[in-house]
Amino acid sequence: MPPPHERHERTTEHDEGSPTNPVKFLGQDYQKLLQKSLRRNELYTDELFRPNSSSIGTLNKEADLDYNNVIWKRPAELVSPGKPFFTVDGMSRFDYEQGSKLGNCWFLASIGALTSKDEETSFMTKDIINQIIPAGQTFRKNYAGIFHFRFWRFGKWIDVVIDDLLPTIDDKLIFVGSKTSNEFWPALLEKAYAKVCGSYADLDGGFISEALMDFTGGVHMEFVLNEAPTYLWDIMDRAAKSQTLMGCASYHEETPEAVSPKGIVGGHAYTVTGVSKVMSDGNPAHLVRVLNPWGKTEWNGDWSDEMSMEDFTKNFESLDICCLCPDFLDRSSGCHWNSQRNFGKWIAGTTAGGSMDNMETFWKNPHFRVRIEELSEDCTHEEGAENILVSLMQNHEQRNRSSQKNFMIGFYVFKVRGEGGKFSAEFFSDKTPVEMKSFQNLREVMGFFWLEPGEYLIVPCTENPGQTASFVLSIFSKHETHFEYIEEEENEDDP
C-alpha cells in the first residue's frame, strides 16, 4: 500500500524545486538546448510543444477560430528585420492586451499585478519578475529562437523551455498581444504558461489566485468583500508597499461579461494596481485603482480612474493577495512570519476518509499536529488580527489543466489538550473543531485564523470519502511553530 504522506518539505536554497534550482519541465534543459542550437546555427523548435493545432487545443465555439488559417511565425517574421525586442523600455502593466480568442483574463490580470509599478506607493515586484523571467533573454546576442520562464507549481519551481513560434492569422497574434508591436515578452510568457497547462485552450477560464500563486510560490489570502474586515484597506495599503500581487473579481452577471452602467465587466478578473488616501471635503478618502486586462472598459463612477473603498467592496466580489511572505500584515518590523509545507495523499480505502459527516471513516484522514509557541517580544498582536494561515491545495498530476477535476476539499482544526499517540475514531466522536474551512470545488482553499498558543490537529480532507488525490498542506504563522505529520502506523488500526 503506498504511503499517504510523501515527506516533510522544508525546501533549502539548492534543493531541486527551489527558486535557485527549479525542476526542468518535461526534462528540457534550457542551456543545453540553447548551446545545441547555437552550434548548429539553427533556430530552436520545441518538439514537446509543437507549432500546430494540438498546442492551441480545442477552443470554445465562441472563439470562432479557423485552424486552417493559423500560421506559426517567429517575431522576426512579424516586424521589420532586426526590430523584434523582448522588452521595450522595461515591463509595464500597459504593455499587453488580451486576445479575442481566449478567455484568460485571470492569467492576464496576474501579469498586470506582476508588472505594476507605482512610484507613490513603491508598488514593486522586481524580485518576483526576475524569478519568473530569467534575465538576459533577447533577440540580439546568442539568439536561437529559444526562451525560458519559471513558475511555481504545486510546491516546486519549474523551468519551462519554449521556442518563439507564435500562432498568427494574417500576421497578427491570435492570443495575447503587445501594445508596442515589436515587444514580445507578453506573448512568450503566455506561451510558456500554456505549455505548462497543456495548451492555449487550457488557459480558458480560471481564478486569478491560481496564476498569482504560480508567480510567487508564496502565501495566498482571499477576502470576500461583502464580509471584509474594517481594516482591509490598511492591509491593502501595507501590501501595496511590499512585494505583493493583488487582484480582484467582479460579480457574475446573468449575461457573461456584461458591462454595468459604471463600466465594470461582470464575472471578470481585474488587477489591483495601487491604493491611496486623499482628503475630500476635509475628510480622508480611501481609494483603490484597478486595471481591466482587456485594456478598455473602465470604471466611470466617482473618482474616475480610481474608486472609493466603499465602491470597490460593492462592485467586486473578492480580493486576492499573494506574496512571498506575509510580513506586511504586521506593523511591527521585528515580527517575521515563517512557513512550512507538507505533501500528502488521500487514498481510497485507507486515508480518504471524507468530511465529518462520515464519522466512521473521517478519522482515517491524514493528521498534522501543530504546536504554536508564545509570541516573541519583537512581535505584537493587534486585537482581532489573525496569526496563522492554513492553505490546502490539490496537487494535480495530469498535465492538461482543463481535464483536471477538483474534488470538494476543506480542512478542520482541533484543539489538542495533551493527547498523544494516535487519534482514533473515539477521539473525534465528541470533538468540535475550533476552526474549519468549508468545502469548495477549487484547486486551493485557505483559512486565515487567530489561534491561541498551544497544540492543534489539522485534518485536511475531501468532502466525500474514497477519493484519491495528492495535496499540499502549508501553514504560515508569525509565531514559532512546530508542524509535523502523524505517521500512518499511528492511526491505521480501527479501534
The phi, psi pair for 208, rounded to 5°, reads -60, -30
* Residues contacting residue 369 through CB under 8 Å, at least 6 positions apart: 416, 455, 456, 457, 458, 482, 483, 484, 486
- The active-site residue out of 268, 315, 365, 461 is 268
* Residues contacting residue 435 through CB under 8 Å, at least 6 positions apart: 412, 413, 447, 449, 451
Instruction: Give the pairing type, strands 156-163 and 146-153.
Output: antiparallel
The amino acid at 58 = T
Active site residue 336: no
Active site residue 105: yes
Q: 105 with 269: CB under 8 angstroms?
A: yes
* Residues contacting residue 182 through CB under 8 Å, at least 6 positions apart: 75, 79, 80, 83, 84, 85, 88
Q: 59 with 102: CB under 8 angstroms?
A: yes
* Residues contacting residue 61 through CB under 8 Å, at least 6 positions apart: none
| Rounded (5°) CA angle 224-225-229 | 95
Going edge to edge, which strands form the sheet with 269-280? Answer: 219-224, 316-323, 244-250, 269-280, 283-291, 306-308
Please name which of 424, 402, 79, 103 lies closest in space to residue 269, comparing C-alpha atoms.
103
Residue 19 CA, chain-centre distance (Å), reads: 16
- The active-site residue out of 104, 197, 220, 292 is 292
How many other C-beta atoms lie within 10 A of the C-beta of residue 350?
A: 18
- The active-site residue out of 104, 105, 220, 315 is 105
CA distance 287 to 445: 28
The amino acid at 467 = Q
Give the three cell numbers for residue 385. Answer: 488580527
* Residues with a known catalytic role: 105, 268, 292
